Every structure is written in structure tokens, then in C-alpha cells.
Chain A
Amino acid sequence: MADAATPTPHAAEHAAEHPSYLAHHFAGIDQQFEAGSLGMWVFLVTEIMFFGGLFAGYAVYRHLYLPGFEAGSRLLDVRFGAANTAVLIGSSLTMALAVRAAQMNRRKALILCLILTMLLGAAFLGIKFTYEWSHDYEDHLVPGMGFSYPGPNAPAIQLFFCFYFFMTGLHALHMVIGLGIMAVLVWMAARGKFDDGYYSPIEVSGLYWHFIDIVWIFLFPLLYLVGGRY
């Protein structure tokens, strides 16, 4: 602040009325919390529109090339997809528990739940990268990286895999960012930055994490279960 004078009484008053986590431009902690929450919801709406474009493209091409899309879907391993779904749902549970722990001012539980969420998220990415994507690469199913499919409907299958990698890739990117956010939260929680009066970063990050989970809930059936017989 560009005050000409900085009297000590003001500083004391300052500390009392303005907790360290209250940003100066907000009128109060409630306004800050509500703004943060609304901000995250608005951001999630933009993410829905972002993924929505891909879903729209997927819908159009699935309609045009159903046999190819079904064939492509059957080339994915449903077991891994299902395992990932379970892992993500579990991570949403641990995230919700983390928020609860923060609300109840239980720091150890908070940190534990955040770390569990991270582990489950990492497990998701691990399954995806090591079991699914690397095998897809070996089977020449990655468009642009030596894609080749000997059977019928090859162009449609390539298109399917294009959407598959775009959609799951974009999703995985958001997961990685989510893990980064979780790491920061763990660090902040360890430093004692949260208590039952202030935990909005946890809550707001929880919203983000649940959103990523919900996107996967849509991706799994559309990509893995389309083919029918598995």
C-alpha cells in the first residue's frame, strides 16, 4: 500500500481484521471464499465446453462410422478402463474425505487423504501410460506414430483412436495438473495454512478433482463400452 505513513496501530488493527489469508481487495473472508468458489465453478463450465467440442466431434463420427468405431472400441482393454474408473471414483472419495477433514480441522487426516488422492491419481496415470498407451503404441494403434491396422474399417478405426487419444490425453493432462495442485495443497497443509476457518483452496480443488472424475465417467462408456461384446 502506498500510504505516506504506516502507523503501528494500523498494522495491529490490520492483523486482527485481516487474517493473513484474506487478500486485500476483498471486503471480507466470506466474499473471498464465495468468489473463489464461483470462480472454480465458472472455470469448470469452460472445461465442459472444452471437452464438449471433442464429444461433439466424437458423436458425429460415431454416427457416420459406427462399425469402425465399434471395432476400434473392441481393441481397447475394458479391464484397464474399468480398473481406472474404480481408481478415480476412489480418489474422489478420498478427496471428499480430505475436504471433510479440513472442515473438522484435522490436519493429519487432511494430509493423509490428499496423499491418498494423489496416489490413486498416479495409479490412474500409471495404468494408462504403462498398460494401455504403451501397448497401443506397440500394436500400431497410435495415429501419427506408425498407425497401421490390417483389417477392414481401418480409416474409421484410425479416426476412433484419434479421438480416443485426444480425449483421454486431454483428460490425462488435466489429471497431471490436478496432481500438481494436490502436491501444492499437501505442502500448504503441512505448513499449517488451513484450519476450519479457511480451507477454501481444498474445497475448490476438490471441485476440480471431481470434475475430472466426472469427465472420465463419460469417457469410459463412450470409448470402452461402445463395441458391445467384450
Chain B
Amino acid sequence: MIPHAIAAALLDAGQKWPGFELHPESASTIADGVDELHFFLTAVTLFFTFVIFTVIFYFMVRYRRKSEDEQPPETRTYLPLELTWTLVPTALCVVVFVWSSSLYFQNSRAPNAAMEIFVVGKQWMWHLQHPEGVREINELHVPVGVPVKLTMTSQDVIHDFYIPAFRVKQDVLPGRYVSIWFQATKTGRFHFFCSQYCGTGHASMIGWVEVMSPDDYAAWLAGGTRGETMLQAGERLFQQYGCATCHVADGSGRGPSLAGQFGKPQKLRDGQTLVVDEGFLRRAITQPNSMPLPNYAPVMPSFQGQLNEEQILQLIAYVKSLAGEERKTKGQ
């Protein structure tokens, strides 16, 4: 592939002169596609710049003023030329737009089987949680060749999670979940950066993605600081904060049973229907009265401020796991 070859050549050059790299690492499945478009645009830029510079330079020399009374000929408009240099750039733009948009569309949809990791950005560090319970700060261990989906939120202001080598970036917002996905293509250590200004420590909110072979990753996971898995933590919080009091599994409590609810559509009192996804659950925990349900009194208290974003993610992991419980309750 041409872009791969160019990238490799530039990388080589960069290695020869450390500190003067010309090309970032390409370490994900989408990197080559993005680079291909980038090189094309670079070529277009250089081409048109070269053409304009050359033509101007040529005119500057050829038509330089030789005497004060010389009379340039009349300027005649020439419509075909005007139309050409209007339509050709337009066509070029449309081509690039179509190419770029389809690439973007393709790159934005996570494969279904992606393994999930949960990220909370806060001033000025990144907390990353693996479902198995391992937690990291400013480091992200992932296996190579496996699609990984990051579900992210911020504890405070807007941050941004950016992994240059993977060509992925996403603003991380407080109050909602956003997600990106990537599949690493080689092992190694790659920077990640916060790239949305967030205050004093914005430039220190950086870390490393550590891509390992699947075996090494499994070993790392197993040997990691043991504690509860996210699911276990969520279950503990569910009891600790009294959720179980109202959300009884068989539906006999003051609140609805949560068994099997994740992923289903839910009608609200005002008529609109929403899917019970992570964002829904987060809002239900922090602003329950903004989404009253048809058959239940709006008496659920808000847990905003009592639970931090990581705890909310753990609760959500627990609620997700209740999918299997549905069969049990239906049978009764």
C-alpha cells in the first residue's frame, strides 16, 4: 500500500534523526486509511501551492515593469477559465468529502464484539477501569489485535482522549458518556494526551497505551491489583446506597425491577421512548425526576454528588449484568 510505504519511509527517516520525526507511529487498523487521505490532501496542497507560487513567480519576472509608461493590454474576462477554476476545485472538494466521510463513518462504528474499558477523566488525570476490576491511572493496557471500546465521561470539565498513533480522538464530556473504539495492530507503548484544554494540569494529563500480546495481557490482568470486578463493586454499591430497597428484583418494590431492562426501550411519562443504555441509567441515577416513568411515583432521590463517575459506571455494569435475571422473574 502506498501510504504504508510512505509512512514507513518517513518513520525510518525520523528514526535516523531522533527528535525530528516526520510521521507518527501507525498502530491501529484505521491509521493507514487516515494517512492515505492525509497524504492525498498533502499532495493536493503542495501541488496547488507549487502551481500558484510558480505562476506568480513567473508572472513577476516576465511582466515586471520595464518603463513607467508601459501600457498593459486590456483585461478581458474569460468565462471558460472562471468556470474551470470554480468547478474543478468543487469537484475535488466533493471527492475528498465523500472519501473522508465514508472513512469517518466506517471508523466511528465500534464492532459489536469489542471489549469495553471505562474511562473517567478528571482534573488532571485519567482513571481507567477494566471490567475485571483492574484499575489504572494514566496507563491503558490492551491486547493487540482485539477491538477495544472506551466508554468515557468526565468528572468535571471537558477533557479529550487522544491517541495519536491510533488516530482516534474524542472530547470527554461531563454529564454524559461518549465512546470510541480502536484495534491496535502492533505491540508497544504509545502516547495518549488530553487534547481539550482543561486548566492548570492540561499538559500533564498524559499517559501511555501499553499494547501487549493477548497472552501477556491475560497475564497482566491476572496479576493486576486485585479487588472487586466492576460488577462486584456495582453490586456492593447497589446494596450500600439502598437501591435494592426500591428496585426489588421481582418488581414488588416501589421502583421498577431492573432485571433484563438494559438495552430495552422504555416509555416515559411524557410519551417519549428512550433506550435503556448507559446514558439513560446515568441520568436515572443523577436526575431521576427529569424522566418520570408512567406507572411509578417520582420519588427516587438523586444521587448526584454522592456517587462519583467511576461508581456510577460500576453500578451500570451491575445493572447490565441483570439481563439474565429476567427469565427467573418471568417464570414466577
Binding site for B on A (CB under 8 A): 65-68, 152-153, 155-156
Number of B residues contacting the other chain (C-beta, 8 Å)? 7
Pick from B9-17, B29-37, B126-134, B286-294 the stretch touching chain A. B286-294
Pair B287/A152 contact, Cβ less than 8 Å: no
Is B298 at the interface (CB under 8 A from chain A)?
Answer: yes
B322 to chain A, nearest CB (A): 27
* Docked CA distance A199–B106 (Å): 65
Pair A155/B287 contact, Cβ less than 8 Å: yes
Pair A152/B270 contact, Cβ less than 8 Å: no
* Docked CA distance A225–B320 (Å): 42
Pair A153/B270 contact, Cβ less than 8 Å: no
Q: Which residue of B lies closest to A153 (CB)?
A: B289
Interface residues of B in 280-318 (CB under 8 A from A): 287, 289-290, 292, 298
A83 to chain B, nearest CB (A): 31
Please give, as numbers and ranges, the residues of chain A lying within 8 Å of B270 by CB-CB distance. Answer: 66-67
Please give, as numbers and ranges, the residues of chain A lying within 8 Å of B289 by CB-CB distance. Answer: 152-153
* Docked CA distance A122–B316 (Å): 56
How many contacting A-B pairs (Cβ < 8 A)? 15
A202 to chain B, nearest CB (A): 48
Please give, as numbers and ranges, the residues of chain B lying within 8 Å of A155 by CB-CB distance. Answer: 287, 290
Please give, as numbers and ranges, the residues of chain A lying within 8 Å of B269 by CB-CB distance. Answer: 67
B276 to chain A, nearest CB (A): 18
* Docked CA distance A113–B278 (Å): 62
Please give, as numbers and ranges, the residues of chain B lying within 8 Å of A153 by CB-CB distance. Answer: 289-290
Q: Which residue of A lies closest to B291 (CB)?
A: A67
- 12 new A-B contacts, CB < 8 A, other than A152-B292, A152-B298, A155-B287, are A65-B290, A66-B270, A67-B269, A67-B270, A67-B290, A67-B292, A68-B290, A152-B289, A153-B289, A153-B290, A155-B290, A156-B290
Please give, as numbers and ranges, the residues of chain A lying within 8 Å of B290 by CB-CB distance. Answer: 65, 67-68, 153, 155-156
Give 15 pairs: A residue, B residue, CB < 8 Å, sorted on A.
Answer: A65-B290, A66-B270, A67-B269, A67-B270, A67-B290, A67-B292, A68-B290, A152-B289, A152-B292, A152-B298, A153-B289, A153-B290, A155-B287, A155-B290, A156-B290
* Docked CA distance A155–B290 (Å): 9
B300 to chain A, nearest CB (A): 11
* Docked CA distance A67–B288 (Å): 13
What is the 8 Å Cβ interface bit string for chain B, positions 252-291, against chain A (1 contact, 0 not)?
Answer: 0000000000000000011000000000000000010110
Please give, as numbers and ranges, the residues of chain A lying within 8 Å of B287 by CB-CB distance. Answer: 155
* Docked CA distance A188–B282 (Å): 63
Please give, as numbers and ranges, the residues of chain A lying within 8 Å of B292 by CB-CB distance. Answer: 67, 152
* Docked CA distance A155–B291 (Å): 13
B177 to chain A, nearest CB (A): 17
B254 to chain A, nearest CB (A): 16
* Docked CA distance A67–B292 (Å): 10
Q: Which residue of A lies closest to B268 (CB)?
A: A67
* Docked CA distance A156–B289 (Å): 10
Please give, as numbers and ranges, the residues of chain B lying within 8 Å of A65 by CB-CB distance. Answer: 290
* Docked CA distance A66–B290 (Å): 9
What is the 8 Å Cβ interface bit string for chain B, positions 49-65, against chain A (1 contact, 0 not)?
Answer: 00000000000000000
Among B270, B289, B292, B298, which residue has the most Cβ atoms of chain A within 10 A? B289
- 9 A-B pairs with the lowest CB-CB distances in the bound complex, closest first: A152-B289, A152-B298, A153-B289, A67-B270, A66-B270, A65-B290, A156-B290, A153-B290, A155-B287
B298 to chain A, nearest CB (A): 6
* Docked CA distance A68–B298 (Å): 13
A218 to chain B, nearest CB (A): 24
* Docked CA distance A79–B218 (Å): 70
* Docked CA distance A9–B35 (Å): 80
B259 to chain A, nearest CB (A): 27
* Docked CA distance A152–B291 (Å): 11
* Docked CA distance A67–B271 (Å): 11
* Docked CA distance A152–B270 (Å): 15
Q: Which residue of B lies closest to A156 (CB)?
A: B290
* Docked CA distance A65–B270 (Å): 11
Interface residues of B in 65-108 (CB under 8 A from A): none
A158 to chain B, nearest CB (A): 13
Q: Which residue of A lies closest to B272 (CB)?
A: A66
B171 to chain A, nearest CB (A): 19
B93 to chain A, nearest CB (A): 29
* Docked CA distance A155–B175 (Å): 15
* Docked CA distance A67–B270 (Å): 8
A214 to chain B, nearest CB (A): 31
* Docked CA distance A66–B270 (Å): 9
Please give, as numbers and ranges, the residues of chain B lying within 8 Å of A68 by CB-CB distance. Answer: 290
B290 to chain A, nearest CB (A): 7
B176 to chain A, nearest CB (A): 12
* Docked CA distance A152–B269 (Å): 14
Q: Which residue of B lies closest to A68 (CB)?
A: B290
B113 to chain A, nearest CB (A): 34
